[in-house]
């Protein structure tokens, strides 16, 4: 009875992650007879890092215990896949993972310490617009989208950071909406009153406009979905919602009719087989990979995910499906489900509008981002290049996701009222 | 050789991931069952039973505390006011009676017995005082009197 009890103890899930990593890195060590000690060492680092961070969260009772566990499982699956595809990228990804965990704790502490996040509405606006302008001015073009900035040898993707800033902006807007004063316009002597929601709508579409100029369709879609969902939750005016939906539909239809890039995406989505070696190459390779995996997959190292283009970033889900099968892919989707569920639960427990909106925004962002890219690679919706949070290779994506997770973790502690009372 | 290991491991990986998901969902489920009860948890007016066991080690649903705002029976079947699906509890295990502000506990003919401060109690009423340790089935409770 005692032994059975301890199997189900609280630490069990973290042991599962450690076991997973142990087996995965042993397998990678044997793969292609590499026998590289670096691989075993990086495996040990990943395991130690996860166990240590989880112990810190539990010991200091830093809020929700499950968020970090779910995310480390996702990151472990991602690291294993990237290592299998290319060892060099895998080692880099582990460095990003270490940096991500450090940023996770930093953002947790900073978010807890600073109590005036909701008063910086204008600051968020200026920050995100500055970042957009920097991207446009100094941006590099990589695989179709101009969204990379080179700062001192490190290439960054500012749009990843803007996602979090944008959520903060919307949240602080909803918190302070009564107190925001907008000067009346004077045209030909007539005074025209501008509603605060009109201003926010314009700002939100400015963000999306910048992303469209950068040709980052997936990002624009993600911003719209996050913005629209938050509007649906916090705004009672049905007319505004309908107007926004109308703008989105008209914008989408115009894009589909006149913008060449969107036309290509839609036609390859409807029929990728027509131009299998050209425009439909990515999506068909992805479908072949998922199909060849079957229920349990080929096994790590036994499939051929190197034929999938961008297998380590956008198409990593296809690579997972090929080598771990449909069951592996469904497990990844399930993990995201629990993550989103946990996030919603945290948002529901918080009373303050600002924290509620931030928690919801981050959760919705994770959820929609996963939906857009997984839906894209399985040909459920038109494909748009966007990363799979916590799994895809990429420093900007991984670190930003960890920063967002740190903020969610800080909100889950939910001690905002108590400390405010003491001051 | 590598092929064989990898083929075996792919099943193990799937089992590990799903077992992990099961573990997380289970822990989340146990968590929910307490948070939904916090509303009527301890009002300060009535005495209550506080669970001492670590809840995550028990494989059935059990609350962190049970308020004793009237006569109660404890057992495994749903017709009890306090019903806990501990396999070591009897259908109707023990009863709590409140008489003139004094709380009594009595056994209802349980198989494994009811213990107060490690002493087995009979079907006769046994008066409870603040800080008494109550043991039944796999459960350990602490009897806490009201704050007033």
Q: pLDDT per residue over B78-111, tens digit each?
A: 788 888 888 888 888 999 888 887 888 998 888 8
The residue to which tokens 């340790």 are assigned: B133
State the best of B11, B13, B33 to mutate against chain A, taking most chain A CBs within 10 Å: B13
> pLDDT over 70 for what percent of chain B?
88
Which one of B24, B26, B57 has the shortest CB-CB distance to A69? B24
3-class SS of residue A213: helix
Q: Are A372 and A382 in contact (CB under 8 A)?
A: no
Q: Is B146 exposed, middle or buried (0-12, 13-18, 19+ CB in 10 A)?
A: middle
* Cβ contact, residue pair A325, B10, below 8 Å: yes
User: Residue A302 gets which letter from DSSP?
Assistant: T
Chain A residues with CB inside 8 Å of B23's CB?
8, 12-13, 16
Residue A261 has a pLDDT of: 85
* Cβ contact, residue pair B3, A8, below 8 Å: no
Query: Residue A146: phi, psi to the nearest 5?
Result: -90, 80
User: Residue A413 gets which letter from DSSP?
Assistant: H
Residue B10 touches chain A, beta carbons under 8 Å: yes
User: Residue B58 gets which letter from DSSP?
Assistant: S
* Cβ contact, residue pair B2, A5, below 8 Å: no
3-class SS of residue B45: coil
Residue B33 touches chain A, beta carbons under 8 Å: no
* Start-to-end C-alpha separation, chain B: 73
CA distance B63 to chain A (A): 17
CA distance A4 to chain B (A): 9
Relative to beta strand B72-75, strand A140-142 is unpaired
Residue A70 has a pLDDT of: 94
Question: Which of A212, A166, A218, A252 shows the shortest CA–CA distance to A370?
Answer: A218
Cα torsion A93, A94, A96, A99 to 10°: value is 180
Residue A13 touches chain B, beta carbons under 8 Å: yes
> Splitting chain B (148 residues) into consecutive groups of 10 residues, what average pLDDT does each group show?
89 94 85 50 71 76 81 85 85 87 87 88 87 88 75
* Gyration radius of chain B's alpha carbons: 20
State the best of A331, A339, A350, A391 to mutate against chain B, taking most chain B CBs within 10 Å: A331
Q: A residues 20-39 near B, CB within 8 Å?
A: 20, 23-24, 27, 30-33
Which one of B16, B25, B59 has the shortest CB-CB distance to A20? B16
How far apart are alpha carbons A361 and A162 in whole angstroms?
13
| Half-sphere exposure of residue A136: CA atoms within 13 angstroms, side-chain side | 14
Query: Residue A272: phi, psi to the nearest 5?
Result: -75, -15
Distances (CA, A) of A97 to A10, A42, A238, A399, A414: 24, 11, 42, 7, 26
Residue A200 has a pLDDT of: 86
Tell me the DSSP string of A274-309.
Answer: TTTTTTTHHHHHHHHHHHHHTTT-S-TTTS-GGGST
Tell me the DSSP string of A317-358.
Answer: HHHHHHHHHHHHHHHHHHHHHHHHHHHHHHHHH--SHHHHHH
User: Residue B146 gets which letter from DSSP?
Assistant: -
Chain B residues with CB inside 8 Å of A328's CB?
13-14, 17
Residue B37 has a pLDDT of: 45
Bridge partner list, B50? B65, B142
pTM of full prediction above 0.95:
no
* Cβ contact, residue pair A10, B7, below 8 Å: no
pLDDT tens string, chain A, 423 residues long: the values are: 444 444 445 568 888 999 999 999 999 998 887 788 888 999 999 999 999 999 999 888 888 888 999 999 999 999 999 999 988 999 999 999 999 999 999 999 999 888 888 888 889 999 999 988 888 888 777 666 667 777 766 677 888 889 999 999 999 988 888 776 666 666 666 767 777 888 888 999 999 999 888 888 888 999 999 999 999 998 888 888 999 999 999 988 998 888 888 888 899 999 989 888 888 898 999 999 999 988 999 988 888 888 888 888 889 999 999 999 999 999 999 999 999 999 998 998 888 889 999 999 999 999 999 999 999 999 999 988 888 999 999 888 999 999 999 999 999 987 775 544 433
Bridge partner list, A191? A186
Relative to beta strand B133-136, strand B114-116 is antiparallel
Chain A residues with CB inside 8 Å of B25's CB?
338
Find the closest chain A residue to B13 by CA distance: A20
State the best of B4, B12, B17 to mutate against chain A, taking most chain A CBs within 10 Å: B17
* Cβ contact, residue pair A8, B26, below 8 Å: yes
Residue B24 touches chain A, beta carbons under 8 Å: yes
H or E element that contains A225: helix A217-234
Q: B residues 68-107 near A, CB within 8 Å?
A: none
3-class SS of residue A390: coil
Residue B79 has a pLDDT of: 81
CA distance B128 to chain A (A): 30
Find the closest chain B residue to A3 by CA distance: B57
Chain B residues with CB inside 8 Å of A24's CB?
13
Residue A342 touches chain B, beta carbons under 8 Å: yes
Residue B57 touches chain A, beta carbons under 8 Å: yes
Measured in whole angstroms, the distance separating CA B30 from the mean position of its chain's CA atoms is 12
Residue A423 has a pLDDT of: 36
How far apart are alpha carbons A72 and A58 in whole angstroms?
15
* Cβ contact, residue pair B57, A8, below 8 Å: yes
Bridge partner list, B120? B115
> Which ipTM was obtained for this model?
0.87
């Amino acid at each position: 009875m005692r032994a059975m009890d301890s199997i189900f103890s609280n630490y069990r899930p973290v042991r599962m992650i450690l076991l997973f990593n142990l087996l995965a890195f042993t397998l990678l060590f044997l793969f292609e007879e590499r026998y590289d000690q670096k691989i075993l060492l990086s495996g040990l680092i990943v395991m130690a890092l996860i166990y240590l961070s989880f112990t810190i969260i539990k010991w200091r009772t830093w809020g929700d215990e499950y968020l970090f566990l779910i995310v480390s499982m996702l990151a472990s699956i991602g690291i294993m896949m990237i290592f299998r595809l290319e060892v060099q990228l895998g080692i880099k990804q582990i460095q990003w993972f270490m940096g991500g965990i450090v940023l996770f704790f930093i953002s947790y502490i900073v978010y807890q310490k600073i109590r005036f996040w909701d008063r910086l509405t204008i600051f968020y606006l200026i920050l995100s617009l500055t970042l957009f302008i920097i991207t446009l001015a100094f941006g590099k073009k990589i695989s179709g989208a101009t969204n990379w900035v080179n700062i001192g040898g490190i290439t960054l993707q500012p749009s990843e950071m803007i996602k979090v800033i944008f959520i903060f902006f919307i949240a602080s807007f909803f918190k302070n909406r009564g107190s925001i004063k907008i000067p009346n316009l004077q045209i030909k002597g007539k005074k025209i009153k501008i509603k605060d929601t009109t201003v926010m709508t314009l700002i939100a579409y400015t963000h999306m406009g910048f992303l469209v100029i950068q040709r980052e369709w997936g990002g624009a879609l993600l911003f719209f979905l996050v913005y629209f969902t938050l509007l649906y939750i916090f705004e009672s005016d049905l007319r505004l919602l309908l107007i926004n939906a109308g703008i989105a539909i008209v914008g989408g239809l115009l894009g589909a009719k006149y913008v060449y890039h969107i036309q290509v995406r839609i036609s390859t989505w409807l029929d990728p087989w027509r131009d299998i070696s050209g425009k439909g190459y990515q999506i068909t390779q992805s479908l072949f990979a998922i199909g060849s995996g079957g229920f349990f997959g080929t096994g790590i190292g036994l499939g051929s995910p190197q034929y999938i283009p961008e297998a380590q970033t956008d198409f990593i889900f296809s690579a997972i499906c090929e080598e771990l099968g449909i069951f592996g892919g469904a497990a990844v989707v399930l993990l995201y489900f629990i993550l989103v569920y946990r996030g919603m639960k945290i948002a529901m427990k918080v009373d303050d509008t600002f924290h509620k909106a931030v928690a919801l925004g981050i959760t919705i962002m994770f959820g929609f981002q996963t939906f857009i890219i997984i839906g894209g690679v399985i040909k459920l919706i038109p494909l748009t290049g966007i990363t799979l949070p916590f799994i895809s290779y990429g420093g900007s994506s991984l670190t930003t996701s960890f920063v967002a997770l740190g903020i969610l973790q800080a909100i889950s502690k939910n001690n905002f009222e108590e400390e405010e009372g003491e001051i | 050789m590598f092929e064989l290991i990898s083929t075996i491991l792919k099943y193990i990986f799937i089992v590990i991931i799903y077992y992990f998901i099961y573990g997380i969902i289970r822990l989340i489920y146990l968590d929910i069952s307490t948070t939904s009860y916090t509303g009527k948890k301890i009002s300060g007016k009535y005495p209550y039973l506080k669970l001492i066991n670590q809840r995550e080690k028990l494989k059935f649903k059990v609350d962190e505390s049970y308020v004793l705002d009237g006569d109660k029976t404890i057992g495994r079947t749903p017709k009890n006011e306090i019903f806990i699906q501990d396999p070591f509890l009897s259908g109707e295990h023990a009863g709590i009676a409140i008489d003139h502000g004094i709380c009594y506990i009595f056994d209802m003919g349980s198989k494994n017995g009811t213990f107060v401060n490690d002493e087995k109690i009979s079907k006769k009423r046994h008066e409870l005082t603040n800080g008494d340790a109550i043991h039944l089935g796999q459960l350990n409770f602490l009897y806490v009197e009201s704050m007033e």
